[in-house]
Amino acid sequence: MGAPDRRYPIGSRPTRPVGVAPTMRVRSASAAAPGRLENEDAVFRLGPLVGVLDGATVPEGFDTGCVHGPAWYVRHLAARIGLALAARPAATLMSSLAAAILAVRADHGGECDLDHPGTPSSTVCLLREGGDQVDYLVLCDSPLVLDAGGQVSVVSDERLDTAMAELRRTAADLPGGEVDPVTRFRQAVMVQRERMNRTHGYWAAAADPDAAYHAVTGTLPLRGPGALRRAALLSDGASCAVEQFGLFDWTGLLDVTAAEGPEGLIARVRAAERDHPDRLRRHKRTDDASVVFCEFDPAD
């Protein structure tokens, strides 16, 4: 499924008031995976902006070249996005994200090898209310579900999935039994790292601010027949309710979240993880899960 997507020249767009007459009602929840001490997701609201960040978990035995971890990175990135928007309220989400990535690069304090392929990284999903319209940005695999004009659509960045599917096809071509599962997994992680923030790979927030300009972006109205009514920003630990477990479709996800709250959606994912282990397709049995749910009052 697709969604309206209007792109602007890098770092520019018509100046307009940001955050005028806010109409968003926001609920959010974020929970670490069961048994995990630290949540590597982050949810936030900063005035007219809401966001979900999902830090990339470092598999056991892999180096990152950094003394910081994914949880540190997402916390700093969220704060820096807020500061960038406060400094330039009319800037595009792309340019604000680029400024934030650059600022977090400085936050490392020169202690880390930020050119290391395993340097901490994160997905980004942002939605900003601006009076009579909203802007959105999606980078990597944290989707945005939109209910606008009576139609539900999903804004997603498919490049990571495409890169991983290609990687699986390559692995399938290897002679059976030649490489054990552990070695295959290590090879997959190494190739995934090498493809991050590359033209023929996929893009995520890490140490290179240029990644921000490869995000999927767009604008939707808050007035008229195509007006946005509901939106859900999700980490993949929550979107798996649809994409992995098939508990409901995207409209059902919005309805469940509206009725039971973001906590209710996460509870349903946890139950599915327990009750349907046959549907688990990730290398980890469970994941951090984050949801930001926005509802918009009808406008004249």
Other beta carbons within 10 angstroms of residue 9's beta carbon come to: 7
Contact indicator for 52, 290 with CB cutoff of 8 Å: yes
249: number of Cβ within 10 Å: 11
Residue 159: pLDDT band by 50, 70, 90 thresholds? confident
CA 140 to mean position of chain CA atoms: 6
**Taking the model in full, what pTM does it have?**
0.87
Condensed to tens digits (0 to 9), the pLDDT of residues 48-81 reads 999 999 999 988 889 999 999 999 999 999 999 9
CATH architecture of 24-156+204-296: 4-Layer Sandwich (3.60)
Mean pLDDT calculated for residue range 169-197: 68
Q: Convert the pLDDT of each residue in 18-37 to its tens digit.
A: 444 547 899 999 999 999 99
Query: What is the rounded distance in angstroms from the CA atom of residue 62 to the CA atom of residue 39?
Result: 19
Residue ranges of domains in the chain: 24-156+204-296, 158-202
